[in-house]
Amino acid sequence: MNCLGARRALGVDPRRLSVQVQSHIAHCRDCQSYRTKVLRMDEQVIAALRTPKRDGLRERPPLARSSRSRRWRVSTGVAAVVLIVVMALVYCSSI
């Protein structure tokens, strides 16, 4: 086990680690520090998810989106796809 593998395992689930990962962390100060940071961040996320909703939050109507902004997003997405395809074709033809 190396630091990269241990950090990947910590990113998946910092509370359920294999024996190999636990052994590496026990001997590596950098990974111990990283595990502490990941667990602290995990606790902050859990605390944020436990925050109660304000009264009346569900009753508010959703914000209206204009068709103009939707059209702009769709056209920008299409332009990005076309640009990526053109760049891939140019790259492949230069090889």
**pTM of the predicted model, to two decimals?**
0.53
Q: Please answer whether residues 6 and 25 qualify as being in contact, where contact means their C-beta atoms are separated by less than 8 angstroms.
A: yes
Q: For residue 21, with 0-12 CB atoms within 10 Å meaning exposed, 13-18 middle and 19 or more buried, which class applies?
A: buried
With cut-offs at 50, 70 and 90, classify the pLDDT of residue 53: confident
pLDDT beyond 90 at 17: yes
Token readout for 32 is 């111990």
Q: What average pLDDT is seen over the chain?
A: 87
Q: How far apart are CA 74 and CA 66, in angstroms?
A: 13
Which tens digits make up the pLDDT trace of 19-49?
Answer: 999 999 999 999 999 999 999 999 999 998 8
pLDDT of residue 50: 87
Token readout for 13 is 């689930």
DSSP 61: P
List of residues 6+ apart from 41 with CB closer than 8 A: none
pLDDT of residue 69: 75
